Amino acid sequence: MEKIKTDNSRRAFLKASALVGGGLMIHFSGLAKLAMPTNNGEIEAAVQWSEINGYVKITPDNLVKIICPNPEFGQNVMTSLPMIVAEELEVEWNKVVVEMGPHDNVKLGPQFTGGSNSMRMYWRPLREAGATARNMLMQAAAESWAVPIAEITTKGGVLYHEKSGKKGKYGDFASKAATIPVPKGVKLKEVKDFNVVRNSQKNVEGSKIVSGKPLFGLDYKHEGMLIAMIQHPPAFGMKLKSFDASQALKMPGIKDIFSLKLYEDGFEQGGFDVRTFNDLLVVVGETTWEVMNARKKLLVEWMPAGDTKDTMAGRSGGRQVIVPGTLENTTDQYAKMLENAAKPAQQLRKDGDPETAFKNAAQVIERTYTAPFLAHNCMEPMNFFAYVTDEKALLVGPLQAPGWTEPTLSKVLKLPADKIEIQMTRMGGGFGRRAYGHYLVEAALISRKAKAPIKLIYSREDDTTYGIYRPMYTATYRAALDSNKNLMAFHVKGGGIPEHAIHANRFPAGAVDNYLAEGWQIPSNITIGAFRAPRSNFNAAAEQSFLDELAEAMDKDPIDFRLELLKRAKENPVGKNNEYDADRYAGVLKLIKEKSDWNGADHKKYNRGVAAYFCHNSYAAHVVDMIMKDGEPYVERVFSAIDCGIVINPDAATNMVQGAVVDGIGNSLYGGLTHKNGVVEENNFHKYRIIRMHEAPKKIEVFFVQNDIDPTGLGEPPFPPVFGAVANALHKATGKRFYQQPFALPQTNAGSV
Amino acid sequence: MITLNINKKNYKVDADPNTPLLWVLRDIIGLVGTKYGCGVAQCGACTVHLDGEAVRSCVTKISRAQGKKVVTIEGLSESNNHPLQKAWLELDVSQCGYCQAGQIMSAAVLLKENKNPTDEDINDAMAGNICRCGTYLRIREAIQLAAKEQQKV
């Protein structure tokens, strides 16, 4: 058998990430952790990098390397974060080499990709890193030339002293600069002087992507690496009883089959330690196909798990949580939600006297909205490489939150953090799913037990049916109108399995005198977690549909109605802790009204729906233009207005918004995961409908509010309001209101009783 | 032993003839540009060319590929200069990038057979390729751009 290895070996990986020159590092994280010992002699001889700080390395030949701290899952941080450094460092962007950093939160900060936080978290630190490195290079030049630093200027990676006519490349001074004590309080550039940031720069990995270079976790190879897969219970609420591996072990390429326990009893789980099953049945073999085939030969007996206990970490020690053993059915889940919605719930916020207002109302409008569980469906299924011995652990693959996973690995493997090396590959999608690092822990334990480097791979079916899903939600909205159709009171009561979605302090809180928000939840064994704009992705659908219906009942234009509420929230806000900035919220609505030509006569062919939402510190509004095509709704055109402060990389940001719009249309119309006796029914893409090319709009025009506010998130904020805009356009297209997601399915929820 | 001609090179592979081409490419030969997405020909991430036709390598047994010419993303062009690859970069199509090799391989067959595709033609030809990031608009635009570039030559 001729096996040809790629060069994507451990050695090649190290070579690419090795650093020499020691130098100084700037860090802004208080977390103490030893730097990773990664060097070996052969590598050290390769290139002389002077590390000016954790983000900047320069060679004597004037190669400038900028390190990206945050894992890349398509949000383009590998380009946009280094752009920020390059801006302040004053180097030519097209000559910069960008490299993904290893997990090292001393040198590289929190390294968390999620919560639309990368820009917000790194904007200032990366500007400081770039400016400080530039200052150190200027100091080095000033000393060498014996001139005052104030007389040194820089441009495009070159230092100048105009008076003497001296000039030199950064590379000439890099090793000297690396020995200079790190200055504090270096002045940052004026926003008006930016020439890298706010200019569209191409994806630094674009060319590797289109030529099929190994970039992703699934592409990673290591000498002697075996493939591992987990045979998980067929249903939520089941567990492993016994297994007979004798036939499977005889299959070609199979090395080992065993069961293992992920967390020991009483293990205190942090918020991101969610895992679907704790007893794992593992098949290890030489190739993926061989392992997949051997799985079919396993004889396994599963049994009901019954109610089980999980221990959740808390400030005052572990807290025990009962996980019910029910084999859930989707019809029962909906019935249970309806039943619970009628019961008293936890009050989350109350302004004024909503009870009296509702009692005295001339008209009460009440509508109930529902949404199903959603699977993330990352195109690259969950996977991770692990090589764990008694002394140390190497883990390589796609994940969003190395800093949260490492402490868990350390506890489970009983290894100190400095013996655990995590390298992040490019991720084939994330959407929140890869913030839950259980699959690293699984890979690590499998490697240790198999005594071999292994890559754990989830099949598509494993990935879909063994997920950390977006919860199932419902919310009932009520509005009280007086006889003049003025809004007197607003009430939202939300629930979900296993948690509700209510953000009590978000709009329209603050804009209505009498306001009540309540929440309730139903425990479940279906595992849930963050999914692109958690909670907001449901609220924006329900709340924004309700506001649309309310505007209609009040004979008001839906945009004007929202603007009226926002005016009230700005001029005379009700209550405290209103999370949003009413001006910026109104800003995106005004911009979308203008750009979509909202009241224009030229759009008669379309059924227009509008929605806006605030989440993750940014504001988004969309107008979707829908037609009916072959009996199905088709969103042909979309206008989007976004306020996320300074837009770092405009074309990439536009791409991100366009993607979020497509994702929102797809998930609102088609997305959904159902259960039958605990079994996930949609186990692959033939059953789980994902939006495809012909269902994507012809045009999505994106407009950014121009301001100089420090950048906030963009990965999530444009996503939620798409759901509301689609629902509102559907009303125009069909004359009916849609209360139940996914909207393309027959509607059984009438919205009101 | 099965001989496979991949990107103009012969490989002798000792694997079960029923093994999907995808896994031979990825696990045995080491050409990992072709991606695993679903395993059931539903997502198109594993698209390769078999004698010039776009096939889903996850359901294409190597016995079927024997004696035919296989082209993967790694062999699409000499130096990343296929009009589609250039258009993809020009329009900065990719987000996560995982599906894009499959998208390009599907689009390459479309452009070979239809020099001047309409948006409808593109929608039809590309319906089997999922992009979870939602870059469809740019993919469509890139195919149009590549078609124009191709006609200039």
Cβ-based neighbour number of residue A595 at 10 Å: 16
Q: Is B132 on the interface with A (CB under 8 A)?
A: yes
The DSSP result for A306-342, as a single string, is -SEEEEE--TTS-EEEEE------HHHHHHHHHHHHT
Chain A residues in contact with B119 (beta carbon < 8 A): 698
Report CA torsion sign: A647, A648, A654, A659: negative
Give, for A702, the enclosing helix (H) or strand (E). strand A699-704
Binary contact (A659, B133; C-beta < 8 A): yes
Contacts of A417 (CB under 8 A, 6+ apart): A33, A34, A406, A407, A410
Beta bridge partners of B11: B4
Distance CA A557, CA A571 (A): 21
The answer to whether residue A33 scores a pLDDT higher than 60 is: no
Question: CB-hemisphere CA count at 13 Å for A405?
Answer: 32
Number of H helices, E strands in chain B: 6, 5
Chain B residues in contact with A288 (beta carbon < 8 A): 23, 26-27, 36
The answer to whether residue A7 scores a pLDDT higher than 70 is: no
The answer to whether residue A22 scores a pLDDT higher than 70 is: no
- What amino acid occupies position A33? K
Could you report the per-residue pLDDT of A593-647, keeping only the tens digit for each? 999 999 998 899 999 999 999 999 999 999 999 999 999 999 999 999 999 999 9
The DSSP result for A723-741, as a single string, is HHHHHHHHHHHHSS---BS
- The whole-angstrom distance between B48's CA and the closest CA on chain A is 12
Q: What is the mean pLDDT of residues A410-436?
A: 98
The answer to whether residue A272 scores a pLDDT higher than 60 is: yes
Binary contact (A4, B133; C-beta < 8 A): no
- In chain A, the residue whose alpha carbon lies closest to the alpha carbon of B136 is A693
Cβ-based neighbour number of residue A628 at 10 Å: 12
Distance CA A420, CA A412 (A): 12
Spatial contact of A704 and A715, defined as CB atoms under 8 Å apart: no
The answer to whether residue A274 scores a pLDDT higher than 60 is: yes
The answer to whether residue A413 scores a pLDDT higher than 50 is: yes
The answer to whether residue A14 scores a pLDDT higher than 50 is: no
Q: What is the mean pLDDT of residues A475-482?
A: 98
Tell me the pLDDT band of A369, cut-offs 50, 70 and 90: very high
Query: What ipTM did this prediction achieve?
Result: 0.99
Say if residue A573 is preceded by a cis peptide, omega within 30 of 0.
no
Distance CA A727, CA A712 (A): 27
Percent over 90 (pLDDT), chain A: 91
Q: What is the mean pLDDT of residues A222-226?
A: 97
Contacts of A572 (CB under 8 A, 6+ apart): none
- What amino acid occupies position A709? I
Tell me the pLDDT band of A400, cut-offs 50, 70 and 90: very high
The answer to whether residue B122 scores a pLDDT higher than 60 is: yes
**E strands along A522-617, which residues?**
607-615
Predicted pLDDT at A750: 80
Pick the residue of A6, A13, A201, A209 with the most B CBs within 10 A to test the interface with B by mutation: A209
Strand A56-58's sheet: what is its strand order? A50-53, A56-58, A64-68, A96-100
Could you report the per-residue pLDDT of A35-73, keeping only the tens digit for each? 222 323 333 334 689 999 999 999 999 999 999 999 999
Pick the residue of A2, A75, A379 with the most B CBs within 10 A to test the interface with B by mutation: A379
Q: How far lies B137's CA from each of A165, A258, A744, B88, in Å?
A: 51, 46, 22, 12
Chain A residues in contact with B29 (beta carbon < 8 A): 4
Tell me the pLDDT band of A654, cut-offs 50, 70 and 90: very high
Q: Is A427 on the interface with B (CB under 8 A)?
A: yes
Predicted pLDDT at A47: 67
Torsion of CA A345, A503, A725, A435, to 10 degrees: -110
Strand A308-312's sheet: what is its strand order? A268-269, A308-312, A319-323
Tell me the pLDDT band of A3, cut-offs 50, 70 and 90: very low
Torsion of CA A251, A256, A259, A263, to 10 degrees: -140
Instruction: Report the relative pairing of strands A268-269 and A308-312 from DSSP bridges.
Output: parallel
Q: What is the mean pLDDT of residues B124-153?
A: 96
Pick the residue of B36, B100, B132, B140 with the most A CBs within 10 A to test the interface with A by mutation: B132
Predicted pLDDT at A753: 58
Percent over 90 (pLDDT), chain B: 98
Could you report the per-residue pLDDT of A88-121, keeping only the tens digit for each? 999 999 999 999 999 998 999 999 999 999 999 9
Q: Which pTM was predicted?
A: 0.94
Q: What is the mean pLDDT of residues A400-429?
A: 97
Binary contact (B95, A700; C-beta < 8 A): no
